[in-house]
Structure formats: C-alpha cells, structure tokens
Amino acid sequence: MNTLVFASNNAHKLEEIHAILADKFEIKSLKEIGCNVDIPETGATFRENAMQKAHYVKEHFGLNCFADDSGLQVEALGGQPGVYSARYAAMHGHRDEPTKDEANMDVLLEKLAAFPSDDIGWKASFRTCIALLYEGEAHYFDGIVEGHIIPEKRGTGGFGYDPIFVPEGYTQTFAELGNDIKNNISHRARAVAQLAAFLRNVSINEK
C-alpha cells in the first residue's frame, strides 16, 4: 500500500484521516516516520504554512506528504487572528491563563468590543488549507465555514474559539452543537473531504 505522511501529531486529526483513508493508503504521523522536530510555521498564509510542513517532510524523508493549517478570520479585524489564531493572546502580551483558548477568546472579544456588530455579532470564518505533495506535484484543498463571533462564550464542546463561533444557518455555537454536527460542516471536514476525493481518484488510476 502507498505510504502517505500526515505532517501532524494531533491524535484527533490523525484518527479522522485514518477513518477516511486507511483502506487506500498507509497513513503515517510525524512520530511514526521518526520526525521529532516542531516544524516551523513562519508563513503569512495558511497555504504557506501547510506547504512549509509538507516540504519539510518531502525534503528530509522523501515521502509523499500532506499537512494542514487552520485559523479564524474576523472581517472587522481585516482577517485577524488568521495564521496567529493559536498564539493570539500571547502576541498581545497576555499569559495563557486560565487556558490558552480562554485567553485567546478574551483578547478577541476585548478587541471586537470597539467595532459595531450586527444582530448576531461580528462576521467571521474558520478556514483550513491542506497542502499535498504527491509524486512531486503540489495540490491545495481549502475548506471554509462562514459564521459570526458572538459576544459571550456558550457551550463546553470542541476547542479553540468554538464557544464564541456560531456557524451560518445555526443559532448554537460550535461548542454547543457537538462533534457530530461540527465534524460534518467544519472547515477541516470540508478540506479533508476534497483531499479524500482527490486521493481516491489517484488510487483508482494507479491500479
């Protein structure tokens, strides 16, 4: 079976990819190929960051590889926090307390308080870019979910900015909707579905 590296050590993401692709590809994590470096993500876009990770694996291990990068983009903030979503509070001098996710949401809401909102909140979208390097060719798969940031945190599920994000067409936050619904409509699910469709096609044509 064809080996394909997913340049991640995130157990949840690896499990999701395994469930979709394990019948066609031998999916390996960074740890499984002996890559123990924290691959730098210094790009200005999700696409650059995802490709940086895929390139690193190709260069150092010579294997077909894909990587993802995601984040939240808020319209009133010109697309911020974007590629800085994971470290937004730290960049504004806040310590990761009580948790990194809480601190990130607090900083974002503090900033947004200065901007006018519509009757739901502030327009925003979650985005994922997956970069695939397959047989020397680069391919990109983008997933987007539009919605709003609301002024107060609601719900206990998910992670990151989920308690303050209400996807379009829903009244509950990602943290209230639960994993079953979130995993059907999320930015990541949409990007992964495109990647899976592409790879299924590749594996049919290679037979």
Nearest distance from residue 86's CB to ligand IMP, in Å? 3
- For tokens 């985005």, what's the residue? 127
**Is residue 106 a contact residue for ligand IMP (CB under 6 A)?**
no
- Please identify which of the residues 23, 38, 68, 69 carries the catalytic annotation: 69
Q: For the chain, how long is the longest CA-to-CA vector?
A: 58
Residue 38 is a catalytic residue: no
Query: Is 56 or 126 the residue whose CB approaches ligand IMP more closely?
Result: 126
Contacts (CB under 6 A) with ligand IMP, residues 161-190? 161-162, 174, 186
Contacts (CB under 6 A) with ligand IMP, residues 59-98? 69-72, 85-86
* Residue spans of alpha helices (H) in 42-185: 46-61, 88-91, 100-112, 174-177, 179-185
What is 162-181 written as a DSSP string? GGGEEETT-SS-HHHH-HHH
**Is residue 121 a contact residue for ligand IMP (CB under 6 A)?**
no
Helical packing angle, 187-205 and 11-21, nearest 10°? 40
Active-site amino acid positions = 69
Q: Which residues bind ligand IMP (CB under 6 A)?
A: 69-72, 85-86, 104, 126, 158-162, 174, 186
